[in-house]
């Protein structure tokens, strides 16, 4: 059996994955990470656990042979719960979830849990590793210091910068960021003191020809191109952009493979842009990033490739 850790609002990608497993007669169990709470019955012992989900389906850890960490999300708190108890509720269920997850660490995972946690939580490490592996990376500052940000702006940004949150506030196929990438110009610096309440990542604005969403699965690339040259972020633009298949240059592929291997990731959604200067710029890799739009619009067999890779890992492990 393959366990898929996802959340209650995630369907398209997971449905493709589970349908493919069904065609191969491989059992599948969906675990909604946001419902690892009062909606599920969970018991963890020294060597095993048993879980019954909100639909009444039961799984034992002894049945699980591999894990796809598709898209974990925050635990849902019951409505009308006393605010004083919410902190205890969230803390204890987070601990329960972590104990459940780590009891499966000896199995094949996509991606290895601790490796993914480190990469997803450290964008500066991502950029440093990308640069180490010969990828071009914009100058970057992650700060809450208005003076340092202003100095960075005048030194590196040529009158125009972008600012974005380090983390993700929402996860969906329509867009991963509720607060998207923002354009910073000289006039914006007048209110930069407010940055003390919300540190952000700052980079020079790069004049781009197009954006790329690259799905990496163990050395295989599925790359979509979107002709967004005028907006900072295609995910929040109102324009009706469409995806087209794109072939990356060989040297970019080799550098990305080296980067992903150093990060310990076998799966990730990589964002790059092609500048008007002809260069490729690495922006970030999201281990749980979206790719359903590429499979839907370009017929890329991404779900099937992920499943085949995990099946191969399970067979090798056994």
Residue 181 confidence (pLDDT)? 79
Please state whether beta strands 141-143 and 182-185 pair in parallel, antiparallel, or not at all (unpaired): unpaired
pTM for this structure?
A: 0.90
Residue 111: asked if its preceding bond is cis (omega within 30°), the reply is yes
The Cα 203–Cα 166 span in angstroms is 12
Q: Is the Cβ–Cβ distance between 214 and 252 less than 8 Å?
A: no
The Cα 59–Cα 32 span in angstroms is 13
Residue 31 confidence (pLDDT)? 97
Residue 173 confidence (pLDDT)? 42
Over the chain (318 residues), the average pLDDT of each successive run of 10 is 96 96 97 95 94 96 97 92 93 96 95 92 95 97 93 94 75 46 86 86 93 97 84 58 94 98 97 96 95 96 98 89
For residue 66, the surrounding DSSP H or E stretch is: strand 66-69
Residue 230 confidence (pLDDT)? 59
For residue 315, the surrounding DSSP H or E stretch is: helix 302-317
The Cα 23–Cα 58 span in angstroms is 22
Q: Cβ neighbours of residue 177 under 8 Å, at least 6 residues apart?
A: 164, 165, 168, 169, 170, 233, 235, 236
Residue 232 confidence (pLDDT)? 57
């Amino acid at each position: 059996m393959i366990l898929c850790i996802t959340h209650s609002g995630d369907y398209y990608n997971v449905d493709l994955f589970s349908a493919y497993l069904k065609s191969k007669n491989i059992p599948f169990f969906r675990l909604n990470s946001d419902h690892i709470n009062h909606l599920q019955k969970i018991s963890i012992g020294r060597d095993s656990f048993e879980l019954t989900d909100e639909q009444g389906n039961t799984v034992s850890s002894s049945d699980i042979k591999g894990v796809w960490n598709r898209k974990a999300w925050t635990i849902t708190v019951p409505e009308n719960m006393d605010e004083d108890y919410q902190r205890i509720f969230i803390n204890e269920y987070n601990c329960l979830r972590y104990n459940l997850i780590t009891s499966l660490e000896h199995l094949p995972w996509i991606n290895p849990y601790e490796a993914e946690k480190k990469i997803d939580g450290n964008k500066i490490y991502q950029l440093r590793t990308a640069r180490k592996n010969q990828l071009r990376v914009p100058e970057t500052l992650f700060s809450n210091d208005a003076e340092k940000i202003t100095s960075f702006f005048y030194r590196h940004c040529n009158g125009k910068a972008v600012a974005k949150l380090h983390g993700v506030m929402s996860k969906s196929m329509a867009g991963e960021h509720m607060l998207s990438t923002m354009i910073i110009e000289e006039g914006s610096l007048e209110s930069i003191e407010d940055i003390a309440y919300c540190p952000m990542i700052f980079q020079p604005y790069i004049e781009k020809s197009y954006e790329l969403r690259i799905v990496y699965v163990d050395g295989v690339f599925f790359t979509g191109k979107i002709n967004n040259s005028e907006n900072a972020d295609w995910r929040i633009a109102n324009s009706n952009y469409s995806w087209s298949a794109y072939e990356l240059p060989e040297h970019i592929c080799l550098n990305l493979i080296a980067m992903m291997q150093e990060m310990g990731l076998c799966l990730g959604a990589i964002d790059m842009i092609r500048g008007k200067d002809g260069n490729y710029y690495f922006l970030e890799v999201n281990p749980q990033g979206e790719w359903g739009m590429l499979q839907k619009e370009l017929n890329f067999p991404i779900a099937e490739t992920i499943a085949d890779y995990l099946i191969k890992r399970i067979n090798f492990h056994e």
